[in-house]
Structure 1
Amino acid sequence: MNRTHIPGILAMAAIVVASNILVQFLFGQWLTWGAFTYPLAFLVTDVMNRVYGAGPARRVVFAGFLTGVICSLIGTQIMGEFGPLVTLRIALGSGLAFLVAQLLDISVFSALRGGRWWRAPLVSTLVGSSVDTALFFTIAFSTWLSALEPGNDVSWANEALPLLGAGPVAPLWVSLAVADWAVKLSLALLALIPFRLIVRRLQPSLA
Structure 2
Amino acid sequence: MTTTSRPYAADPASATVRGSHRSAPAMVAPVLAFVATVVAANVLTAVFGLVPVGFGLTATAGTAAAGVTLLARDWVHDVAGGPAVLVCIAAGALLSAGLAGPRLALASATAFAVSELADLAVYQPLRRRGLVRAVLASNAVGAPLDTIVFLTLAGLPVWAALPGQLWVKALTTAIPVAVVWTARAVLRHRLRPGGS
TM-score band, normalised by shorter chain = 0.5 to 0.7
Pairwise CA distance, 1:57: 4.8
1:120: how far off?
Answer: 0.7
- Is 1:109 equivalent to 2:134 in the alignment? no
Question: Does 1:43 find its partner at 2:28?
Answer: no
Write out aligned runs for 1:14-163 (5 A): 14-23=36-45, 24-25=47-48, 26-28=50-52, 30-50=58-78, 52=79, 55-76=80-101, 86-87=102-103, 90-141=104-155
Counterpart Cα distance in 1 of 2:83 and 2:184: 18
Choose which of 35, 39, 42 in structure 2 pairs with 1:13.
Answer: 35
Q: Look up the match of 2:189.
A: none
Structure 2 match to 1:167: none
- Shift >6 Å, 4+ stretches: 197-200
Equivalent position amino acid for 1:40 in 2 = V
Secondary structure at the residue paired with 1:115? coil
Q: Is 2:26 the partner of 1:4? A: yes
Specify the code of the residue in structure 2 equivalent to 1:59: A
**One-letter amino acid matched to 2:58:** W
RCO comparison, higher one (Cα < 8 Å, 6+): 2
Comparing 103-112 with 118-127, greater Cα deviation is found at: 103-112
TM-score by length of 2: 0.67
Unpaired segments of 5 or more residues in structure 1? 77-85, 142-156, 158-171, 201-207
How many angstroms apart in 2 are the aligned matches of 1:41 and 1:75? 17
Alpha-carbon deviation of 1:39?
A: 0.9
Structure 1 20/197 Cα, relative in aligned 2: closer, same or farther at 3 Å? farther
The RMSD of aligned alpha carbons is: 2.8
Change over 3 Å in CA distance of 1:138–1:27 after alignment to 2: closer
Q: For residues 27-77 of structure 1, what are the alpha-carbon distances to aligned partners after superposition, in whole Å with 9 as ceiling and x for unaligned?
A: 327223311111111111223334x3xx5354044223322233124433x
